[in-house]
Amino acid sequence: MSQHPHDSARTHVTGESAYLCDRLPLPNELLVGFVGSPVARGRIRSVDTTAARRREGVVAVFTARDIPGTNGFGPLAHDQPFLASETVSHAGEPIVLVVARTREALHAALAEVRIDIAETTPVLTIAEAIRANSFMGETRVFSLGDVTAGFERATHVIEGAFESGAQEHYYFETQSAISYPAEDGAIEVHSSTQHPTETQHAVAAMLGLPQSRVVCVTKRLGGGFGGKESQAAHFAGLAALVTHHTGRPARLILERDQDMICTGKRHPFQSRYRIGIDASGRILALESELFANGGAWLDLSPAILDRALFHATNAYYVPNVKLVAKICRTNLPSNTAFRGFGAPQGALAMEHMIEEIARVLKTDPLEIRRINLFGKDERNETSYGQRVVEHSLPDLVERLAQTSHYRERREAILATRPGAVLRGISLVPVNFGISFTTTFLNQGNALVNVHLDGSVQVSTGAVEMGQGVNIKIAQCVADVFGIPVEQVRVMPTSTEKNHNTSATAASSGADLNCGAAMEAALRIRERLAHCACAHFVGEKGEISLKSQRQTAGVEFSRGVVFDRTRPDTRISFENLLRIAFMNRVSLGEYAHYRTPDIHFDRVSNKGAPFRYFTQGAAVTEVEIDRFTGMARIVQADILMDLGESFNTAIDRGQILGAFLQGVGWLTNEEVVFSDKGILLSSSTSTYKIPAITDLPERLHCRLWNSHPGPSGAKGSKAVGEPPLLLAISAWTAIRNALETVPGVETSSLCAPATGERILLLLDRHTAAKRAAR
């Protein structure tokens, strides 16, 4: 267990850490901007760029016609155009690229581009898409047991509908790319991307170049959260197109509002469900139809829909279940990956159902949760056939209920008559499956170079976006060599060192890349151990690695290397490196890692897609101002099982960051479109992410390693996404607070629970009461 700071902490605090926008422009560098569609749907009649081209300082103007290769990208289908050519599918969709020498010229020219579009009626919402039968991808069905039989045995059947809203990523660094010409038409593109490999491939296909002629480099991201997994390739492509045609460096840094307008968000979901329970509240059957608003293009929607299904019963065993899910094609920017990747939406709908059950049975929702939790030895099969095994979720929930004094606090709230302030408390568990559910993505590679002074460079496919994957990789490699972590440096991600990598996503960055880096380091260590053995016994001649030696006893610790059987005979790590080098032993290694024991069949929808589950729970207490509807969190208690966390400080940062991000999604972050599909919440002043004043007044966050079982790097468990789901407890706490007012109708409370929605629910109740009098 350690608390090493983020590998860039020191340069972050001095302002030295360079993001793409901070790179020194080359003297001949060009600035790139684009004009997006002013309407959500239509046919492009004409594009007039005459005035823009004529303006002083403008170097070029490009449209779809100027794309030499494929005008399409996307992680699953290459259906999204880099530049729209005949039709537009969402407002803000790039149509014309303007290239200028100065920012002033660029913005003046952008304003002079005239685009004439024959507007047609857009499909915007899930309801509209269902009416228009506008879907994409396959209809997905997950089922287990016999739903009909389950409902027959049920004493209560609850039917309902639920919906959750979109969420803007609001990464601080906007989508950015700078493209540099390499010799002979090759391109080196620096991109703020979570997926350098996909970006490289998209650029190559767009320009009609072999993949070997495009290098994508990523030093760091000023936040990603999924928003730069598939969509960064778009902007890298546009910058590369300019370099391709002009032979000059080209810089495309989106302005905040344009970024918000033209990029996708977290998928809004709607579901219609029927859930059958017995008299105690035990779930016997669930039938649910889920719809995701995918926006204009396929993007990652099928995988996101799948993850919503994998998590549609959250942490609960449902013996008879049938889930049907569809992706709606609409005229919104293509919705995309966002921390949790569909799981939060699936789990939230389930937690809404739990609250409904508790309302019907007039009982503490925690009791409903407890009796339905996945069991440790039985009642633990999921709808996709994998069993949740070697876990301690029931213990974890009980432990948290006790340490947070959930029951006493709930009793106290219920015993108080609600006045100007309404209070509510709720406990929600999370059971998050770890691995890409598309099995082949679960691979990574790493390159480890040990230098003669004992310092080490590691390169992997992982992208550092604030989550601390670099320091985790450095810790793993440092531990292999027994050297201080400061001696290990993680290098910028580049496709010429690490190719065919997966996105840094699915909370898997550390597991995959630590796995690969450790494998590479272990192979070097094995060779060094041979050298050490040879050195300790004074072998003559050049050291041969083919010789049989007892390397298992060689220990690398605190910068020295020794044989455990004779600890007095030792050599410093640096001196051993010198010996290895003089004996022509390689001090570099490349290794590949694949997650073991996972499989999933997308035809039967059965398998074991997850290596393990990351589990936790949170208790949140809120207060609502009855007059204004404004809610605030007074206390949050979090307990997460992260196995053997090897950087508790980084992990705590991930937990609390994800928690508050989730709170934003479920409370005040509201993506608002006009009825014509124009984004109204298109700026920082109209879209409100949590501020420091939204931090819970009292906040307790603890880790608990409850159970040995399958895990990730060094016995730890992945942390990036799971804690976002803990924020559901804030939403359910709001619902519970509303329920303290007798007669308030809470079943229709959806997400986000904005102050406005809260107040409208309270007011309708008051109005109804007044009318009744």
Enzyme catalytic residues: 721
In the structure, how many helices (H) and strands (E) does the chain have? 19, 29
Residues in region 103-122 near other proteins by CB under 8 A: 107, 111
Nearer to other proteins, 80 or 263 (CB): 263
Dig out the tokens for 688 from the structure: 């409100």
Nearer to other proteins, 14 or 133 (CB): 14
Q: For other proteins, what does the binding mask look like between residues 633 and 662, x meaning CB under 8 A?
A: ----------------xx-xx--xxxxxx-
Assess 685 for contact with other proteins (CB under 8 A): yes
| DSSP state for residue 627 in the 8-state scheme | T
In whole angstroms, how close is the CB of 430 to other proteins at the nearest point? 16
In whole angstroms, how close is the CB of 410 to other proteins at the nearest point? 25
Residues in region 216-255 near other proteins by CB under 8 A: 220-223, 225, 255
399 strand-pairing partners: none
Nearer to other proteins, 164 or 176 (CB): 176
In whole angstroms, how close is the CB of 764 to other proteins at the nearest point? 10
Nearer to other proteins, 11 or 121 (CB): 11
Nearer to other proteins, 201 or 626 (CB): 626
Nearer to other proteins, 186 or 634 (CB): 634
Which residue do the tokens 């004992």 mark? 454
Q: How far apart are CA 209 and CA 585, in angstroms?
A: 37
Which residue of 34, 82, 142, 170 would you call a contact of other proteins, by CB under 8 A? 170
Stretch that binds other proteins, among 321-329, 497-505, 692-700, 710-718 (CB under 8 A): 692-700
Which residue do the tokens 């823009």 mark? 52
| DSSP state for residue 716 in the 8-state scheme | B
In whole angstroms, how close is the CB of 758 to other proteins at the nearest point? 10
Report the residue count for the chain: 773
Q: For other proteins, what does the binding mask look like between residues 389 and 428, x meaning CB under 8 A?
A: -------------------------------x--------
Q: How far apart are CA 773 and CA 769, in angstroms?
A: 6
Assess 670 for contact with other proteins (CB under 8 A): yes
Helix (H) or strand (E) run with residue 82 in it? none
Residues in region 571-630 near other proteins by CB under 8 A: 625, 627-630
Q: How many residues bind other proteins (CB under 8 A)?
A: 79
In whole angstroms, how close is the CB of 101 to other proteins at the nearest point? 13
Q: For other proteins, what does the binding mask look like between residues 694 and 733, x meaning CB under 8 A?
A: xx---x-x--------------------------------
Assess 16 for contact with other proteins (CB under 8 A): yes
Q: For other proteins, what does the binding mask look like between residues 71 and 110, x meaning CB under 8 A?
A: ------------------------------------x---
C-alpha dist (Å) from residue 138 to 274, 306, 324, 662: 23, 11, 10, 29
Residues in region 251-290 near other proteins by CB under 8 A: 255-257
In whole angstroms, how close is the CB of 224 to other proteins at the nearest point? 8
Q: How far apart are CA 233 and CA 239, in angstroms?
A: 10
Bond prior to 344 in cis (omega within 30° of 0): no
Which residue of 37, 288, 635, 668 would you call a contact of other proteins, by CB under 8 A? 668
Nearer to other proteins, 353 or 656 (CB): 656
Q: Are 551 and 529 in contact (CB under 8 A)?
A: yes
C-alpha dist (Å) from residue 412 to 240, 427, 687: 62, 16, 35
Q: CA triplet 48, 52, 58: central angle to 5 degrees?
A: 145
Amino acid of residue 344: P
Residues in region 751-770 near other proteins by CB under 8 A: 754-756, 759-760, 763
State the burial class of residue 378 (Cβ atoms within 10 Å of its Cβ: 0-12, 13-18, 19+). exposed
Q: How far apart are CA 215 and CA 191, in angstroms?
A: 10
Q: How far apart are CA 620 and CA 729, in angstroms?
A: 6
C-alpha dist (Å) from residue 413 to 360, 364, 424, 672: 20, 12, 7, 34
Q: For other proteins, what does the binding mask look like between residues 465 and 504, x meaning CB under 8 A?
A: xxxx------------------------------------
734-772 per-residue burial string, b: 16 or more CB within 10 A, e: under 16 = bbbbbbbbeebebeebbbbbbbebbbebbeebeeeeeee
Q: How far apart are CA 262 and CA 250, in angstroms?
A: 20
Assess 57 for contact with other proteins (CB under 8 A): no
Nearer to other proteins, 160 or 653 (CB): 653
3-state secondary structure of 387: strand
Which residue of 452, 683, 708, 748 would you call a contact of other proteins, by CB under 8 A? 683
Q: Are 298 and 76 in contact (CB under 8 A)?
A: yes
Which residue of 681, 706, 740, 747 would you call a contact of other proteins, by CB under 8 A? 681
